Structure 1
């Protein structure tokens, strides 16, 4: 049993005081929050390993880059979470409902090939939340109290698939070139006026395009509709580091629930859009039509990667709201409730002011 313990399950203690070491955002260090001791995370100098796609899709060789991981399932919202820290108590990062540590179970997952470590620490994310909430108009007072509670702001690594491929496509279509004619038309007042009308001359076009499609990013988890807003789902993938479980210490990691095959279908859809864009650029002119396109992908590889976000959740009048901060660049987005009484009294006050102005103007 001792030999079966996997890397993501190992806990590393401080050599000075015995406390658990946690990843320090913006660095390549783990540190002790009690005595300040730090240790450097060993990063693989060989970089990432791109895995061949089709052996995994056909379930060949999947065990070579997989491992067993402990998971906690939220019975309220369905999120599956792995924790790299021995929490005495833990709440779901999405809905803040308590998780039962005794309910941990084991699952296999494809080992992440890369991780984008947190660049923003928890304190800074708290300040970003604080500024955002303070700027909200018509927010209930208890929203500000809840959203500003650091206890419910958690760092979370989100799973994504990335796909690389050589793309080639042949196409047939038409190149459109604009020209203008002057016509006499009757306007809405019944008068004859001169109007310049744009028209298009179409010419046949065909050809071939090819190139490398790098790091098509596809989300790998979606238990609930529209969780993480697209507004903040932008990361600088140049900051990716070869995976080391030490980057996860002190944070929650969500396991992918969208399988590799489904992620690959989404990536093929993205590749088709890229191919169409390349074909339009190749056709040229002012506008383009594509009547037929045959796309081929080859040398396809993939990675399972983890990307950072801070999550805070809040319940108001029985409804759940989430707030998100990008853990790499600090961008923020969230949903929020409105205070009926604040809006009501603002409208009432405005009507009183308008009434006073009308009375004064008539006197």
Structure 2
């Protein structure tokens, strides 16, 4: 067991200079940033590891695909972070609060079955952040300063659950078909006019649907702050690779805080929506009603996956702000503060300009 505990924490040194090899985004290589030496990451030819769901929910067989890793817990926002690099000092990627490396502790996790490696370099993400900030009106100077310092931008792997299942459902409902009737009415001038009014004829419907639900994506972590905006939370899962710790080198990895059981409940809710959509498609017509539905999931499997984002975090007037960049496609989103003095001076300048125009207009 001791041999497997440190599996994801092994750091590979460069054969030329001894420096730590780090993952090179957009490739399947780890490289040395000092001498340029590169080595290939060995991709498992067997593909992803899909795990049977219910043995894990019943706390059976977990040791086969789990291990312990070193964790740093942020007491401010609650994020649990694993660092695949020997940082002398480290700040939380979400809220920028300093983390004490000596406070690291061991904690078990279900090994990731797959990972979507970073596709864009940190420098490119930093340029995207800079460009976005430059377009913000009324941004405080501190934000401008943050956009000029790459140390504020960190690469983070986010944990997600994915669930697969065979879905079957029987339903009863109604199929609606539109028809139109001519209706007479009086307009505001008292004249009689006609218009077409849409109505619906309803017919009873029942049946069954079935199919495979693939990779239902469920978020596996939550904090008080730093929620990933839905605008950037879209990744091409076709780019998933079988998990290898080499992809983590040089990046921070967040451990899941939403347990598998809770993730499964969320996935069942998603499956129910899929089943209802399939039922409506099966009913057909112009509109549908699903009065009752009996859904069944079988052959359920899951995997723990890691997805890439870049985060820039800083504090302004004791408040935390985050900016998120999708590590695969470069989409950006975030919250921003406004500078009171910039807005105040702009309003004052506008008032003075109006007074000057009025004065000369009267003259």
Same fold (TM over 0.5): yes
Partner of 1:37: 37
Q: Distance in 1 between matches of 2:15 and 2:107?
A: 31
Secondary structure, aligned partner of 1:172: strand
Q: Is 1:239 paired with 2:239?
A: yes
CA contact (8 A) 1:119 1:329 kept: yes
Partner of 2:90: 90
Q: 1:4 to 1:65 in 2, by over 3 A?
A: closer
Q: Distance in 2 between matches of 1:316 and 1:225?
A: 15
Displacement after TM superposition at 1:76 (Å): 1.8
Displacement after TM superposition at 1:149 (Å): 1.6
Q: Distance in 2 between matches of 1:188 and 1:261?
A: 61
Displacement after TM superposition at 1:347 (Å): 2.8
Partner of 2:122: 122
Alignment of 1:49-64 (within 5 A): 49-64=49-64
Q: Distance in 2 between matches of 1:108 and 1:2?
A: 13
Q: Distance in 1 between matches of 2:82 and 2:285?
A: 52
CA contact (8 A) 2:176 2:285 kept: yes
Q: Distance in 2 between matches of 1:226 and 1:202?
A: 47
The C-alpha deviation readout for 1:292-328, integer Å capped at 9, x for no partner, is 0111111110000000001111111111100000000
Displacement after TM superposition at 1:49 (Å): 1.6
The C-alpha deviation readout for 1:84-135, integer Å capped at 9, x for no partner, is 1111111111111111111110011000000000001110011000000000
Partner of 2:171: 171
Partner of 1:321: 321
CA contact (8 A) 1:174 1:288 kept: yes
The C-alpha deviation readout for 1:251-293, integer Å capped at 9, x for no partner, is 0000000000000000000001011111111111111111001
Q: Distance in 2 between matches of 1:273 and 1:52?
A: 23
Displacement after TM superposition at 1:195 (Å): 2.4
Secondary structure, aligned partner of 2:350: helix
User: Aligned-residue CA RMSD in angstroms?
Assistant: 1.6
Out of 310-319 and 342-351, give the one that drifted further.
342-351
Alignment of 1:148-167 (within 5 A): 148-167=148-167
Q: Distance in 1 between matches of 2:41 and 2:193?
A: 75
Q: Distance in 1 between matches of 2:189 and 2:318?
A: 57
Alignment of 1:8-19 (within 5 A): 8-19=8-19
CA contact (8 A) 1:23 1:250 kept: yes
Partner of 2:263: 263
TM-score, structure 2 normalization: 0.96
Partner of 2:69: 69
The C-alpha deviation readout for 1:178-216, integer Å capped at 9, x for no partner, is 111121223455554322211111111111111110000
Out of 9-18 and 188-197, give the one that drifted further.
188-197
